[in-house]
């Protein structure tokens, strides 16, 4: 029996609610849009950073809990953002030395991470106010937001028009879709940076007991600055083999593996495929044994960055009033491979006028291994 259908539904239509989430220093209002369905699932999205601020779902006993890390108010997102639930871009993940070359011209972006660029630079998409352009209710509740990144923003060429759409349906599927178009050649790699603890945000049990499956044959090893070396390394017989379900904490401290030392745990890209697919495919499966909560993660992207919360250091006080510490959450980011513009053997991040960048991310939420219908 699946606890996801534990409450009698008054209506089977998914709905939304809108509320204030504070104001920026210049007076612009920030809004929270909460999507909800009849199964007890609620996803709150704020238009600052187009961020997933919370995701509430029941466990096998019907107990509701918020399972994403973040802040209860806007102030935290402004003062110590940590990418909690944010939309990251223009180029998610790392660019070596913050540089890339396009059509023979070298572009320099902010070096905000040990000499490299991380998640678009100092003022990436997670640190700007998006315009709410549409909200819907019905079989699926959704919110659509837009941000226009001007030519030269953070050093990137071209004016990029980006849409972020979050939707929640009665099958307990949370969907995020990112699209972008440009008026001149540029690069694009946009994803979501939600931190998950399916035992509950702030729970005494961290995320290291979560059981993870990633159907990847290879991963991309990194140097001591977490930039891929250019190698595609088989996961077989390594701590990076998640082709069968593995508790994250079983090997996260394996210091005999130099890659774990470099990342202070897992902070690595897994290659699921070599192409961007037309439709989402399975990238990962996560289950938390004590509560039975879990999800399947699908995307059309070829790569998945797995980060085991290594840099949470107790200086962030989360929504429940508890300090977030190392290993309290995991992050799974469907995307193009890191540093791709400088490592073209793995594909391309180029976006030209007349074409559309698209990343579709689907979380199929379940309890006790069974999806609710």
Catalytic (active-site) positions: 193, 333
Structure tokens at 316: 């962030």
Structure tokens at 251: 């090997």
Alpha-carbon 84 to chain mean position? 9
């Amino acid at each position: 029996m699946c606890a996801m259908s534990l409450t009698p539904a008054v209506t089977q239509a998914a709905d939304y609610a809108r509320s204030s989430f504070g104001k920026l220093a210049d007076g612009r209002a920030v809004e929270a849009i909460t999507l909800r369905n009849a199964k007890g699932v609620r996803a709150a999205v704020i238009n600052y950073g187009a961020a997933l601020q919370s995701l509430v779902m029941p466990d096998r006993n019907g107990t509701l809990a918020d399972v994403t890390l973040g802040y209860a108010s806007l102030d935290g997102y402004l003062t110590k953002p940590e990418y909690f639930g944010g939309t990251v871009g223009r180029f998610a993940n790392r660019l070596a030395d913050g540089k890339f070359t396009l059509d023979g011209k070298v572009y320099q972006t902010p070096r905000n991470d040990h000499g490299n660029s991380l998640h678009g630079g100092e003022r990436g998409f997670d640190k700007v106010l998006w315009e709410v352009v549409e909200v819907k209710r019905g079989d699926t509740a959704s919110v659509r937001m837009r941000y226009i990144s001007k030519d030269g923003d953070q050093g990137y060429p071209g004016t990029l028009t980006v849409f972020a759409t979050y939707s929640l349906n009665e099958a307990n599927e949370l969907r995020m879709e990112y699209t972008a178009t440009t008026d001149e050649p540029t690069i694009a790699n946009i994803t979501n940076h939600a931190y998950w603890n399916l035992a509950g945000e702030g729970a005494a049990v961290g995320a290291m007991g979560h059981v993870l499956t990633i159907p990847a044959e290879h991963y991309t090893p990194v140097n001591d600055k977490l930039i891929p070396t250019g190698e595609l390394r088989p996961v077989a017989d390594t701590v990076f083999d998640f082709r069968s379900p593995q508790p994250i904490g079983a090997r996260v401290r394996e210091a005999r593996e130099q890659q774990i030392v470099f990342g202070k745990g897992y902070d690595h890209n897994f290659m699921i495929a070599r192409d961007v697919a037309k439709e989402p495919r399975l990238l990962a499966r996560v289950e938390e044994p004590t509560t039975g909560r879990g999800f399947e993660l699908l995307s059309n992207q070829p790569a998945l960055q797995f980060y085991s919360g290594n840099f949470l250091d107790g200086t962030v006080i989360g929504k429940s009033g508890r300090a977030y510490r190392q290993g309290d959450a995991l992050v799974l980011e469907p995307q193009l491979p890191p540093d791709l513009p400088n490592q073209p053997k793995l594909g391309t991040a180029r976006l030209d006028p007349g074409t559309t960048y698209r990343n579709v991310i689907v979380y199929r939420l379940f309890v006790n291994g069974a999806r609710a219908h």
